[in-house]
Structure formats: C-alpha cells, structure tokens
Structure 1
Amino acid sequence: MSAVWRSLLLLWLCVCFWLPTPAHRTVVISRADAATQEARGSLDVRSIKKRSTNTTNRVEVYSFTVACTVMSRFAHTVMTSAALNHEDAPQEISFEVDIPKTAFIVNFSMEIDGKVYAGEVKEKEKAKKQYEKAVSSGQTAGLVKASGRKMEKFSVSVNIAAKSNVTFVLVYEELLQRKLGQYEILTQVTMKQPVQQFQIVADIYEPQGIAFVEATGDFLSNELFSMVEKTVTDKKAHISFSATLEQQTCPGCNESQIKGDFIIYYDVNRAKSLGDIQIVNGYFVHFFAPRDLPRVPKIVVFVIDRSGSMSGNKMQQTREALRAILEDLDVEDYFSLILFDSRIEAWRNSLSQATKENVAKAISYVKRIRDRGATNINAAVLRAVSMLLQYRKSKKLPGRSVDMIILLTDGMSNTGVTNRQKIQDNVRDATGGTMSLFCLGFGNGVSYSFLDVMAKQNKGLARRIFEASDATLQLQGFYSEVSSTLLTDVDLRYPDNAVDSLTTNHFNQLFNGTEIVVAGRLSGKDTDNFLVEVFGKGPEEDFQVQGQAGAVDWNVIYPEQEYIYGNFTERLWAYLTIQQLLDKSEVGNQTEKDNVTRRALELSLQYNFVTPLTSMVVTKPQTEDGPEPSLIADKLTEDERQKAENRGSAHPPSSAATPRSWSSSSSSGGSRGGSRGGSRGSSSVDGDPHFMIELPEREDALCFNIDNKPGTIFNLVRDAASGFVVNGQIIGKKTAGLDGHVGTYFGRFGINHQRLDVRLDVTTQDISVYHAGKQLKLLWSDTTSFKEYNLDVRLTDDFSLTVTLRHSVKFMVIRHTKVWKRRHYQQDYLGFYTLDSHHMSSAAHGLIGQFYHGVEFEVTDLHPGEGPDKTDATMYVKGQTLNVTRHWQKDFSRDVRNGETIPCWFVSGNGTGFIDGNVSDYIVPGIFQSV
C-alpha cells in the first residue's frame, strides 16, 4: 500500500471537499493496533477548503453528534456527521475522526441520497488484496491510518453528486480502563467552523451504583459550561453538551470557539470486597477493585538512560520527574538508582530505605546526572536484577514486598549485547519470574515492541513517553499508576463445571486505583450456585474472599429502558479475549503465537471487530462510471504504527531515532546524518542552503534554511574530542531575484582532522589535500583514488569526492554544475554529505553535528497549507513549539546526477528554535577555524 494513500488519515473529524474526481470509491476500513493508553472519543470538524477559486461553491456540514452509551464500563460510541453538497457539480467529501487506541471499530456506513452502504469485516490480507486490485486497476484507493498519543485517526472520502447529501456513521466499542480511581470518557474537540447541529451525549448505566460523575472541558467558558446538562441517579447518569451556531462562533470572528478537551470522569460504588459479578445472556463479567486495602511496600530500582541522545530537554525532564517520584516514596519502601550509557554507574552499591535523608541525597545525585556515551541496556538491567536478588537474599527487606525495575530509555542498545532477542532472554532468565519490569520508551528511537515484549515476559508493562513539553508529567503519571500495589499474585476462581472460555484470571499485581476484569462463558444454565473466590497476598497476610453471584434482571434495574444492548457481556468477553490474545501473540514460541493469532482472528470476524488482524470493507455498487474502488482503514500492529509514525504521515508522537543529517547548497538539497541500529548514517548540506536531518528508522526528515550574506563561513561540524572540524563558506547567485534577495549556496568547504593530521580545502574549482606534511591538488575533472594509513580518497567523473578517515568519519562532497548550464546568473556550488559518523563523540556539535546523536520531535495538528499540495503542522522539539511545512528536498548522495527526492518537515526562520542557540553562534572567521 502506497505511503501516499496511507497518509489520507491525518486528523480527527474533518469534513472538507475538493474539486470533483473521476473515480468513486470502495471503503476498506482497518484500524491501528490498540495501545495501553486510553481515551474515549474525539472529534475535529475542520475548516472547509476547496481547490476551486470560486468562493461561491460550498459544502455544508449541518450536523455532528457523538453518542456514547456505557454499560458496566463497556462503551458503545456512535459518531454521526451529515453534509450537503450545494454545488452544481460533484464534490469529494471527507469524514475524519479520532477514536481511542483501545477501541475496535464495529461498524461504518454511508447513507448517500437515501441509500445505505454498510461495512463488512474481512481478514486483513483479503482486504489488502482488494485494495491492491483497486489500485492496480487505476481506481482511487486510500488507506486509513492511525497514530498519536491516545487516539487513532479514521478517515474516508466519497464523491457526492450535485445537490446530494451524505451521512457518515462510525461505531466503535471498548472496555473503559480504570486508572487512578476513575474512568474517563474523552472527546477532543477541534472545530474550525460551527455546524447547525452539534452535540455530545453520554449515557452511563452502572448496576453497582455511580459514586460520582464530573464533566469538564478546557474550552468551556461560563456561557458554554451552562450548556452542559448532567442528570445523575443511583445507577444512571446522563451528560450532554450542545451549542447553537451563535454559541459555537468565536466572538469577533468567524471561527468556532469550541476547541479543546471535553472530559467525563466517573467511578462506581465499591461496597463488596468480592467485587461485582454480572451474569447476562449466558456470559458473566467480574469487576474486582476492593476498597481500603493497605499498600504493599515496594523495592524499586530506577534504571536511567543517560546516553548522548538523552541530551537537552529529555535529560532535564527526566531529572524533574525523578525528583518528584523520589519524594513520593514511602518510608517503608527501598530504592536505588542505576545510570547507564556505555558504562554502568549505581548511586549506591546496595538498596536504601526511603528515609527523608536518603531521598534528599538521591535527589541531589539526580540533579547532577549528565548525558554522555552510548547505550548498554542489557548490562544496566542485569545490574538492577542482581542488586534486587542480592539484597533479597540478605533478608534485610520486608518479607511481603514487591520487587520492581523501572527502565527509562530513548534508544536501542548499541554497545555490549545489542541483539534484542538475546537481551530479552538474558533478562527473563535473570529475573526468574520473581520481579516486575516496567519499560518506558522515550520517543521513537527505541523499538517499543522490544520493550513491550520484555516487560510482558517479566510481569510488567511498557509505556511510551512522548517527547513534548509534558514529558515530565507523563513519567510521573505512569509512576503513579504502578507505584502503589495492594495485592500480589491475585487469583479469581470460578466453578470448573460452570464456565468455559475464561479470560485471564491470574494477575501479578493489583494497583491502587485500577480494576481487574475477568469474563467468561457459562457452560450451564444454573447460575444460582455460581461460587466465586478471590485469593491474593497483602502486605501482612493473605487476602481471601468468596461469595455467590446470580443473574441480573435488567428489566428491574432499568425498567424504562427497552434496550441498552443486552449482549454487552458477550461482546465485552469477546473484546477482552481478543485484546489478551493479541498480547500473547507477541510472547512464546512460534507455534504458540500462531495458535493465539488464529483464535484472535476468528473472534474478530465473528464479532465484527476491526482489529490488527482484520479490515472493514465498504463498497458502493456499480455505477455508470464503473465500480467504486477501495479505501482501507488499517488497524496497525505496534511495529506497523511506529513505522507509520516515523514516516510522519499522521500525528507522529515523537522521535528518538538517531538521524542522518545533511546540509548542502541547492534549491532542493539537504543535510543528512544519523543512525541505523545504533550507528549513525549520513549527514549533508546541499541547497539554498538547505540543511536536512534525515531519520532512516522513521523514513522521515527535518530541514531548515540558513540565510546570510555571501562570504560568511559557518561551522557545520566540530568534535573537540578528535579535533575534527568542517566549515562551509557560502556564495551567492550572480544576480539578485525580483525581490532583491540573493540566493546563497556553499562554494567552499574546509575539513580538518587534527589527530590524523588531515586537512582538505574543497572549492568549486579544485581540491587541496594536506596529509602528513604532503600536499596534493586535484581537479574536479580528474578520476583518481589513493589510500594511505589514515586516509582514503576517491574522485569520480560524476564530480563526487568521497573521503574516509580512519576510525573517524566518512563523507562526500559533490560539485553541482551541469544543472545550471543554461542559467547564466547561477554558478557552480557544492554539497556536503556525512555518510558515516558513528565514531564521532557525544560532544559533536555544529549546524549539522548537533544532530549526529539524534533529534526527538513530535508533529501534530496536520492541516492544509497555503499551497494546494502543502501540509502545515505543529512541531514540538527541544522544548519549543514550531510551525512546520511539508517540503521536498534533493539528496544526491546515492544518485549524483539526478538526486533522490526526500520529504521533510521544513522549519523556517533560519532554524530558530530547532538549532541550539542562534545562527550567529556558528559563524567562524576562517575556513579551518573552530567556534
């Protein structure tokens, strides 16, 4: 499936239209893989744009509603949007919406001029073949994709005839997860323009009784807050928010003021220690979250990545989060800190009790953490395991306590043991199932699936920490979720002869503020003697409770409600079973993985769930123009989602990939440098001048301009550890443009490596090489190569010079000349590409050198730019919020004559906010001088 069509799904609910397209469309819907983070529903009605310059043309979006029904934590949400084409010509109308990552789509339909076209769930491979067939036949096809922190993007477009209307209906289901003592229904609202009918409605039915319900929103002014209606009784709650056109309109402007989060929080009564058991239509569900239990002391080792890629904002956020986390430790807890890069350093050689004195010393130590070196995850985690095992043997710790390791890293191991499978095996063998490992992946440079599997193998879980201004709060929030254990080794038991198809009923830990959920199918009709037992280990004694559960008569509890959805327990069971099977499909041998995957696929098809294994197809019938082609909405696996995010085609959460950076001097050039699998790739400068940092693992790039007067010399790379320096001098066009601006390029590079006694002076006329007291001058017309102990030089007839410095760096300089043959106002210029920088130290800096060890960023809020094919977005990088635009640049390192077109996110304004400091900080007085 092409990346172009994969990028169709970008934002929430967006209703926009374009000029008519010749092809109609079949819709194949799949959805991205569920993540552990939750959100409950969101929408975005974005501005209506069209490619036509005729401002009288319009498509009216006249209604949008979100209706959520929650039955015993199982949420059923329907999103509906209706639009009318007022044009005298066909228009393409798009429906784009955010849904929770933990949700499964169960239905999608389009009603066009009174005819309804409904979706059908198919195996993903079959849907993919249908999609590819549509593409190969020349039909318009698209792919819905998903990414982001909490939500996934769903999008579909359809060509609507003149004066016709369309209604889109999307339905999804999910089990709400209890965190920090409450459930959350989140609706993210981003409306650019008001609609005639706008409403958010939630109906909550909880037989246990509702403890509290709160509705809030960061966009709710006093006037808008009055539009929120809330009715709460013992077992029911109704919350609604609606706004008229006038109330949606921003005062003094034509935009909507409804932008932000609308959130409903609630919890249920928890009077019984046994929990709540509900039996409906042959299925049961057991919710277990007892009240007023004492916490179990924890023995925790924090394993903190301090490698070079953690520099800057990430390290500062880590220090701030650790300070808050350490202050939250209870005096009964024990803890330690292990820092790692290529070396392992422990704060203390043994665990310390969390007294005020020890915590204060630890916080003082944390303040001094600095980034440096490479990444050795294997040795760091094994050191933590060894510390816990050794101290446990000493019998100095509380007998009933929880051993846990919290690993925070932003990159893959690139020193020591680097094989992922070997690291996982080593850690699993070392822990022996006696402790929990929680893995926090900072950004996108780390393989999240690697951390996820390693955590699951060791009684823990993984979580992404998105690199943004609130990363500190994300770290603290995750810790709050897992820091307070109430029970360990929890078993929920049911009569063997009464149930089958039971979901997971053994849990390593029950955390405060969370909830254990078990569901199953009844094998008999006798529910009067349904005995339930719960066992667990508390801080001082075992926890044990038992009781009987019976069927619930919903007609008695909710007599006025003819139908909520009576088979919700069965669908909840299927949902929970599929989620757990998908988790198990990542662990175990291949036979075990295949078996659970096959079972998950069967249930997905049976219950019409769009999961990572299935897709939903919506096909319009044959028309005069031919059959409608296919759009695939793909619910990706975690690896697939991360690759999609790396390509930047939807909202990428963040990047911690080690990049390839590049800087050069052509109107479509760039600079690349970076890393694959722990080694850096290439970096270059080529353009006007355009610097580009390419991220191979994300299949994406970032680029920026530096503009100054001709003759200015910039420091591109400097590495104090080796004395390696690269400077570039810019030249200008022979004549200025119509606006008086003189475009600039790089016309000279000075490369100096003090340790190796190598110096090159490269201009558009010739190349001077100085090495070990010798001088050699080459012309660009030469074709030659020579090799000495520390130096390898190759000059080819395509005007490319490749230089390899022993144990240091490999780079390429290209002379551009033929492309300007007919443009007399132009002149020859140079491009510089760093092909291999993995020997550079963590102290490397400069305009492109600062990116050799990675750059972390998050791109959100993608929206149409000023040009017809432009996409603008918001980027969070280095603690800054920047406006960026999708550009296309040329990379000539692989194809010197024609170049390779590379998409990148362009940062304007001389890279302000993206590069460290100001542009003036990089200006040097001489071609071989450092800053």
Structure 2
Amino acid sequence: LNSISSPYHVICLLPIFICVSVFPSHHLFLSQVEVHSVTVDCKVTSRFAHTVMTSRALNKANSSQEIFFEVELPKTAFITNFSMEIEGQVYVGEVKEKEKAKKQYEKAVSSGQTAGLVKVSGRKMEKFSVSVNVAAKSNVTFVLTYEELLQRKLGQYEILTRVKPKTPVNEFQIVADIYEPQGIAFIDVHATFLSNDLLPLVEKTAHISFSPTMEQQRTCPSCDGTLIDGDFIIKYDVNRAKNLGDIQIVNGYFVHFFAPPDLPRVPKNVVFVIDRSGSMSGKKIAQTREALLEILKDLHEEDFFALIEFDHMVSPWRQSLSKATKDNVAEAMKHVHKLRDMGATNINDAKRLPDRSVDMIILLTDGMPNSGESNLGKIQENVQSAIGGNMSLFCLGFGNDVDYSFLDVMSKQNKGLARRIYEASDATMQLQGFYEEVSSPLLSEVDLRYPDNAVEFLTTNHFSQLFNGSEIVGGRSFEDDFKVQGQASASNWDVIYPDEEYIFGDFTERLWAYLTIQQLLEKSKSGSPDEKVNATAKALEMSLQYSFVTPLTSMVVTKPETEDGTDSPLIADKLTEAHQLAIHFVYCCLVSPAVDGDPHFMIELPDRGDALCFNINDKPGTIFTLVRDPESGILVNGQIIGDKKIPPDGKINTYFWRFGIIHQTLGVRLEVSTREISRNNMSHPQLPFLSPFSVDLLVTKDRSLTVTLKDSVKFVILLHKVWEKHPYHRDYLGFYTLDSHLLSPSVHGLLGQFYHGIEYEVTDLRPGEVPEKPDATMYVKGQELNVTRGWQRDFRRDVKNGENVPCWFIHSNGTGLIDGDETDYIVSGLFKTV
C-alpha cells in the first residue's frame, strides 16, 4: 500500500435505529416497521469528510405510527442538511440563527414535544434523532448530511462510526471514497463486532467494503437480532514528501497541510500542577496518581520536569525543575505514591512556577475554585500574566461538575487546549493518551506567510506548537501563483506553488469555511471584547452562508401538519463542549432522579431523551426516604413543610425544607436545611480513623451545595429563596443526583429505586383536558397507566428561573410507577429507616 496514489475506497458506517413507538425501546414494536434500505455515501477528499446517510422505511401497521430515525455522528462534525420525504412531500431543514429558532423551540416544548434533535452520546459522538408520524402502509425516507475535517493524532487519521441497526436490513449498502493526492501510506480497519465469519467480508485493498447480506447480519439463522452492533474504526495516514507542506488548490481556494516528517524530538520542560483538594477524593485522585506514575516512566532523560500540588495551599515537590534522570524520576514516583486529597481548591495561587523556564504546564483539576481568588475572569487574567506568553497551558478537567468553559478559555489564552477526563475505569488511559499527544513537540511558533496581494480571507497562519504525529492545516482564497514562506523556531523555507491541481467537488472552499468558522468560534471565547464581538458576527455570517449547524445556528425541521392543522418544528443544535459537560453528568448512569418544588419528583432518562415526573402530597412535617442503600450504608431522608397559612384557593403547598444524609461506612451524618448546614461524625468503635475530607461540601453563590461522599455518590441541594414577607410561601430546597453509579443494586427509596433504570413504553397519544398537554397510555412494571405530557422545572443550571424539561406525568402520587404506596416511604425521624 505504500505507493498507492489512486482514489481510495473505504467503508464509513453509521448507526441506524428505526422503530415504532413514541419512545423506542422494546423489540415488540419493531415488527410494525420494515426498514427497506440503509445507504451511506462517505467521500473524504484530502482529510475533509462529506457524509450523506439515507434510510427508507415502511409503516406496515393499519394505523399511523411514529417512526424514529437516529444516527450518531462525531462531535467535531457540522450537520449541513437534513430532509424527510413522506408520501412524495419533501420536508427540508433550514439553518437559522439560533436566537431566531429559539421561539420555535419554546413553542414546541410548551406543546409537550421533544424539540431537541441533538444529544450527547458518549465521549466522541452526538446523537441526531427525529421522529415523524407516518400514515398506515406509507413510506418515509430520511436523509442526513454532515461534514468534518479529520484530525491527525499520533501519526494517523481516524474515522470512528457507531453501527447499531438493531435489526437486519434488506439493502445495507455503504460506500465511501477516500482521495488523497499524496497517496495512502497505510490503512487499518477493525470493528468491535467483527466475528470470524464477518471478517472475510472486509476487503482491505484499494477498495474497502463491508456489505453483509441479511442472513450474514443475523445472530443466528432463525434470529431477528443482528451482529452489527458496535464501533467500526478506520485508521490511515498519507505519504509525506521531504518538503515542508502539501497544498491542494481548487477554484480559487487552497488548503495547506503541514506535517514535516523525520524532525528530531525537542527536549521539553514540563510542570504538572495537580489539584489535591477534597473534591478529588476517591477514584479521581487514585486515577491521577496512577496516570502520573505511567507518565513519569515515559519522560526522556534530556527532559526537565516539576510537580506542584495545590489545594488551599501550594506545595512544590522541589523548588526548581529536575532533570529526568532515573534517580530523579524514581524519587518523583515515590512522592506521587503519597499523593492524597486534602483541602479546598485555589487555582489562582497554583500559577506560581519554578524559577527555571518552562515550555509546558499541565493542570489537572476537577472543579471550580472555592478558596482564595474566585472571580473566574480575574483568575484567567492572573494566569495569563504569570505565564506571559512564554509557555503553553494544558488543562485536564476531571468529573461531572468541572467548569469546562473556564478551563477551555484559560488554556486557549495560553497557547494550549483543554480536555475532559471522564470518570471511568479507563481514566488513567485517557490521561496517558492525552499526554502522548502533546508530550513530543517538534516545532514551536510556526508561521506560514503568503503574499498579501495574492491571498485574502486567511485562516490562522500562526501556530504555537506542532506535536509529533499531528498536522497543521490552514487555508485561504488566492489569486494566480503564489509563494509560501515559513518560519518555525530557527528554520526558514520557501516553496513556490504554480498552476491549480483540481480535485473533484468544491471541498477546498467548504474546508476553508469549516476551518475559518472553527477558529472564529475559538476567538469568540478567548479574544478581547471587540475581537469576541467581531469573531462571533463573522462566524454566524459564514455558518448561515455555508449552512453549517454550529453553536451559533440551529437547523429548523418543520414536520408535517398535525391533525389540528399546526406544524411541528424540531430544532437541531450544535453542542459545545461545555454543553457536553452539562448533559454528560447525567449520562454516567441510566437516570438522573431529582425532587424540587411542591414536591415534584423528576426522573430524567438521557439515553431516551425523556423524563418521568410525579408529585407526592402529604401533610407538613412528614419525612420521606429518598435514597436508602443498605450495602453502602447511605441514607437520604427529606422532611416537607407547608405554607405559612392557607392560601385563598384553599390548597396548601408543601416543599422539602431539610434533608438528612448518612454514610454509615464513613461515619458521616449531615443535616441540610433552608437555614443551615451541620455535620457530625458518627461514633462507632469499629470505624477506622476518618479523614475530614471523607465528605466534600462545595457551596456556590450561597444557593447551591454539592455533596460528594467519598468513593460513592454526589448530590446537589439547591436553596430557593422566597421574599421574606411573602404572605404564604417559604424558602425551600431542591435535591438532584449527579452521580449514583457506585450504589448497589439494592438501593431503594422514592428516588433510589430509579437509579439503575426503568423500562416503559408510551402509546396511544391522544388529546388531554388541556390542549397543550396530551394524554397517553404507559406500560410500566406490568401495569397500564394513564399519563399526561407536561413539563417540570429543572433548576440545576438556572437556580432562579429554571428551565422546562418535558416529561410524562404519572398521576395519584406516582401510583404504578413507584413501588408500593407513598406511605411506605414515611419514616419517624430525619436519620431513621423506619
């Protein structure tokens, strides 16, 4: 394959999930729809991928059915088009400014529809989903288009696609072309689902294909299940000449790829700044410790390094950088073995550095600063001033509640980047993988210069660093022949590029637009105030011009009119990494239970993009068990309180006003009320010495308390302040679960019983008593319930106003949804189990 220069064919698979029901889940409903075909046309031209996915399905039922279309696409991709064809009528999505689409979105939500089309799906993917009501015996065709620039990491490009058809498909035809004028250096294809029978179907020649028949897709000859379920990964690289770049020219636009081979490794000076605050307790600090031990082993002897730990104080391992000799590395590893979580988080003071010059700082932290300087803008300003443009800052954010936007801006201001480290069993590998990417800088301060009179609308032409195995990509429109001049560190070069060398399509213009928009979005976060305004305006203009769904735009898809004659708009947004964070913290487990309001219980199910809600009504003073896990010794009880006096309408509202939290194993007893927070350690003769940081309490703006119980769970308690002189209402509390995946299968309680998921189906959607709140039938726990589509307030991101979350409301105190009766959860005291 080393000399291949002809167009390269490669398969590019996408997950397809089409089913019948309001929310897809059980295989029972799959027989009602027949998937005729799934086709994927994926073209990659000089690293720029253009993918069109088409799927056609038939509603075989004798009545109209809701058919779902789901596809997972890379987070780095921009959706450019979506359309549906139903009975010969085509409904095409339109890219609009996000603010203009907002009213349509709110209208859809208020009418009980799930209007958001894009959701998080794991670390690298986003899930695009849409549903449409299809008449009996009618066909529907879905077409989705997206584009992305493949990024070179560790010497290769990767195309990762997730394949989940759920059932064998009649025509499963997927074809892709990779055209690289430089030729393909190597290519590798593997998938998590490739069995010995399927492996021969993958042809790894100039034409790569994978198109199994229905019989080959089945899990067994008589089964309806499919073997095609998992990740399909293509890795390749291109041939690289000894010169310092490759330029592709089409129709007045050029793209410059810069990844010179065989450059010597540059010794580096690196400082690891490690957050050891109490919130890093448990798995986070253990994983950090393990990763640092592996990273220290990989240091080269010509490198210099330092370790700085911080909480509310800063503690350098040594006062200056140390050469990475075997003895010094061994001493550092002994020190890392002793790393423990301790105090609060003071990122501002952690900017203090050793005296010797430093090329790279790697900050490992999990949360918001809660000690010393707490103004985020001031911290960013102080860090930038301390670094002074002389080094790069890389920020690694741990956990579900880290302020990713804060770290992202701070790193970009200092020639670095931010990454999220997911709390999972492979967190150590994630840290090692990130370090492997950035640990070998080859060039610094790279400038690509083009004659001013020959080019216009240039993307960024200055790059702080080029790492081993990566690639710099720039682009611009131009006139006539031009010369490229470059400088990197102390090296200079000149290259003249003559006539245009045409490649098919207009990919260079769209790739140039893609790059420009990406760079403008970065500048809109980290530039000066004027730069932010100008960059945002230009990025919006180009997003609309080239029909890219970016964080500034939305794609509005108007579904067919409903029976009442109204249209049904759906909105597809582009999630930023900060939004990924906001959604990801409920993705660690199947559900995200909460209670907030009168008292309103909400069970969010992010895997299904849905939520269930119910109320519990009882007399003031009643205490309920919310969470009880006998195996881990965790107990959460809550007491309700009523209005100050009976309102004119005669209905007394009740709210939770205090919670009791126990962790029997850690000996922790915590009481949180609308007035105070009190903590007592429980005395027990068999309990070991308790660290004062076995429970971490983080108060934000006097309205939010995050409770982290070491090695177990994380809750958030919100304080809702009411006007002190209000004649009826009182202050009250809301309770949200951020992380519950370490609780045992025996966990129970009004919230706890849902921590490990719940299966249900919703059918027979029909008008309700209120026009905008339709009724439906829910099948759950062997029972048939009448439920109503409504919405519940979620105050996690906006404590004052909250935001509407569509949910299915279960009547009569959650009867049929909760186990037993609501009175079964009443206990006699705040820390009692009976």
Q: TM-score interval w.r.t. the shorter chain?
A: 0.7 to 0.9
2:291 aligns with 321
1:14 partner letter: F
**Structure 2 vs 1, CA of residues 144 and 339 (structure 1 numbering), >3 Å: closer, same or farther?**
same
1:242 aligns with 211
**Structure 2 vs 1, CA of residues 303 and 903 (structure 1 numbering), >3 Å: closer, same or farther?**
farther
- What is the RMSD of the two structures over their aligned residues, measured on CA atoms? 4.4
**Structure 2 vs 1, CA of residues 611 and 652 (structure 1 numbering), >3 Å: closer, same or farther?**
farther
Which whole-Å CA distance do the structure 1 matches of 2:277 and 2:576 have between them? 29
Farther off after superposition, 60-69 or 87-96: 60-69
Give per-residue Cα distances to partners, 1:271-295, cap 9 Å, x unaligned.
Answer: 1322101111000111000011011
1:843 aligns with 694
1:391 aligns with 356
Which whole-Å CA distance do the structure 1 matches of 2:173 and 2:464 have between them? 42
* Residue among 7, 12, 18 paired with 2:21: 18
Farther off after superposition, 248-257 or 331-340: 248-257
Q: Give the deviation of 1:362 after TM superposition.
A: 0.9
* Residue among 236, 255, 259 paired with 1:266: 236
Which whole-Å CA distance do the structure 2 matches of 1:88 and 1:405 have between them? 64
Q: Give the deviation of 1:866 after TM superposition.
A: 3.9
2:219 partner letter: C
1:106 partner letter: T
**Structure 2 vs 1, CA of residues 668 and 284 (structure 1 numbering), >3 Å: closer, same or farther?**
closer
State the secondary structure of the residue aligned to 1:460.
coil
Give per-residue Cα distances to partners, 1:308-340, cap 9 Å, x unaligned.
Answer: 222222222111111111111111110011111
Q: Aligned runs of 1:587-666 on 2, under 5 Å?
A: 587-619=526-558, 625-646=564-585, 648=586, 651=587
Give per-residue Cα distances to partners, 1:12-34, cap 9 Å, x unaligned.
Answer: 632121279xxxxxxxxxxxxxx
**Structure 2 vs 1, CA of residues 305 and 134 (structure 1 numbering), >3 Å: closer, same or farther?**
closer
Give per-residue Cα distances to partners, 1:364-408, cap 9 Å, x unaligned.
Answer: 11111111221111111x12xx31xx213xxxxxxxxx6111001
**Structure 2 vs 1, CA of residues 178 and 862 (structure 1 numbering), >3 Å: closer, same or farther?**
farther
Structure 1 residue 550 corresponds to structure 2 residue 498: yes
State the secondary structure of the residue aligned to 1:242.
coil
Q: Give the deviation of 1:134 after TM superposition.
A: 5.0
2:56 aligns with 82
Give per-residue Cα distances to partners, 1:552-585, cap 9 Å, x unaligned.
Answer: 4447xxxxxxxx42x1100000000000000000
Give per-residue Cα distances to partners, 1:688-716, cap 9 Å, x unaligned.
Answer: 9744xxxxxxxxxxxx44469xxxx9785
Give per-residue Cα distances to partners, 1:123-150, cap 9 Å, x unaligned.
Answer: 11112223334556x4856111322411
- Structure 1 gap segments, 5+ residues each: 1-10, 21-44, 233-237, 393-401, 556-563, 671-685, 692-703, 718-727, 729-745, 750-763, 765-779, 784-796, 803-810, 815-830, 873-887, 892-899, 905-925
Which whole-Å CA distance do the structure 1 matches of 2:267 and 2:314 have between them? 27
Which whole-Å CA distance do the structure 2 matches of 1:636 and 1:599 have between them? 19
Q: Give the deviation of 1:67 after TM superposition.
A: 2.4
Which whole-Å CA distance do the structure 2 matches of 1:669 and 1:444 have between them? 20
Kept in 2, the 8 Å contact 1:76–1:174? The answer is: yes
2:87 aligns with 113
Kept in 1, the 8 Å contact 2:113–2:806? The answer is: no
Which whole-Å CA distance do the structure 1 matches of 2:472 and 2:696 have between them? 50
1:91 aligns with 65
Q: Aligned runs of 1:672-687 on 2, under 5 Å?
A: none
* Residue among 534, 546, 550 paired with 2:486: 534
Which whole-Å CA distance do the structure 1 matches of 2:513 and 2:653 have between them? 62
**Structure 2 vs 1, CA of residues 571 and 592 (structure 1 numbering), >3 Å: closer, same or farther?**
same
Q: Give the deviation of 1:254 after TM superposition.
A: 3.4
Q: Give the deviation of 1:630 after TM superposition.
A: 0.1
Q: Give the deviation of 1:470 after TM superposition.
A: 0.9
Farther off after superposition, 486-495 or 303-312: 303-312
Kept in 1, the 8 Å contact 2:189–2:235? The answer is: yes
* Residue among 78, 81, 86 paired with 1:104: 78
State the secondary structure of the residue aligned to 1:241.
coil
Which whole-Å CA distance do the structure 1 matches of 2:422 and 2:384 have between them? 27
**Structure 2 vs 1, CA of residues 852 and 65 (structure 1 numbering), >3 Å: closer, same or farther?**
closer
1:438 aligns with 394
1:145 partner letter: V
Kept in 2, the 8 Å contact 1:186–1:262? The answer is: yes
Which whole-Å CA distance do the structure 2 matches of 1:343 and 1:174 have between them? 44
**Structure 2 vs 1, CA of residues 17 and 132 (structure 1 numbering), >3 Å: closer, same or farther?**
same
**Structure 2 vs 1, CA of residues 596 and 49 (structure 1 numbering), >3 Å: closer, same or farther?**
farther
State the secondary structure of the residue aligned to 2:526.
coil
* Residue among 118, 122, 128 paired with 1:145: 118
2:356 partner letter: Y
Kept in 2, the 8 Å contact 1:862–1:871? The answer is: no
TM-score by length of 1: 0.66
TM-score by length of 2: 0.73
Q: Give the deviation of 1:210 after TM superposition.
A: 1.0
Kept in 1, the 8 Å contact 2:408–2:417? The answer is: yes
Q: Give the deviation of 1:120 after TM superposition.
A: 1.8
Which whole-Å CA distance do the structure 1 matches of 2:512 and 2:756 have between them? 37
**Structure 2 vs 1, CA of residues 490 and 856 (structure 1 numbering), >3 Å: closer, same or farther?**
farther
* Residue among 270, 279, 282 paired with 1:309: 279
Q: Aligned runs of 1:722-761 on 2, under 5 Å?
A: none
Query: Which one has the largest radius of gyration?
Result: 1
Which whole-Å CA distance do the structure 2 matches of 1:118 and 1:901 have between them? 27
**Structure 2 vs 1, CA of residues 534 and 452 (structure 1 numbering), >3 Å: closer, same or farther?**
same
Which whole-Å CA distance do the structure 1 matches of 2:476 and 2:320 have between them? 45
1:504 aligns with 460
Q: Aligned runs of 1:250-649 on 2, under 5 Å?
A: 250-251=219-220, 253-380=223-350, 382-383=351-352, 386-387=353-354, 390-392=355-357, 403-522=359-478, 524=479, 526-527=480-481, 530-537=482-489, 542-554=490-502, 564-565=504-505, 567-619=506-558, 625-646=564-585, 648=586
Which whole-Å CA distance do the structure 1 matches of 2:40 and 2:564 have between them? 34
1:548 partner letter: I
Which whole-Å CA distance do the structure 1 matches of 2:229 and 2:16 have between them? 12
Farther off after superposition, 117-126 or 462-471: 117-126
**Structure 2 vs 1, CA of residues 47 and 202 (structure 1 numbering), >3 Å: closer, same or farther?**
farther
Give per-residue Cα distances to partners, 1:803-824, cap 9 Å, x unaligned.
Answer: xxxxxxxx5579xxxxxxxxxx
Farther off after superposition, 478-487 or 362-371: 362-371
Which whole-Å CA distance do the structure 2 matches of 1:592 and 1:901 have between them? 34
Q: Give the deviation of 1:661 after TM superposition.
A: 9.9
State the secondary structure of the residue aligned to 1:108.
strand
Q: Aligned runs of 1:9-88 on 2, under 5 Å?
A: 13-18=16-21, 48=27, 50=29, 58-88=32-62
Which whole-Å CA distance do the structure 2 matches of 1:61 and 1:801 have between them? 49
**Structure 2 vs 1, CA of residues 175 and 361 (structure 1 numbering), >3 Å: closer, same or farther?**
same
Which whole-Å CA distance do the structure 1 matches of 2:793 and 2:148 have between them? 45
Q: Give the deviation of 1:229 after TM superposition.
A: 2.2
1:768 aligns with none
Which whole-Å CA distance do the structure 2 matches of 1:507 and 1:104 have between them? 24
Give per-residue Cα distances to partners, 1:660-698, cap 9 Å, x unaligned.
Answer: 9999xx99799xxxxxxxxxxxxxxx999744xxxxxxx
Residues matched between the structures, number: 680
Q: Give the deviation of 1:645 after TM superposition.
A: 3.6
State the secondary structure of the residue aligned to 2:148.
strand
Kept in 2, the 8 Å contact 1:112–1:165? The answer is: yes
1:362 partner letter: A
Which whole-Å CA distance do the structure 1 matches of 2:779 and 2:673 have between them? 29
Which whole-Å CA distance do the structure 2 matches of 1:245 and 1:196 have between them? 6
* Residue among 750, 759, 763 paired with 1:865: 759
2:545 partner letter: Q
Which whole-Å CA distance do the structure 1 matches of 2:653 and 2:62 have between them? 55
1:144 partner letter: L
Which whole-Å CA distance do the structure 2 matches of 1:902 and 1:134 have between them? 12
Give per-residue Cα distances to partners, 1:843-900, cap 9 Å, x unaligned.
Answer: 34999955578865789x999824549999xxxxxxxxxxxxxxx9999xxxxxxxx9
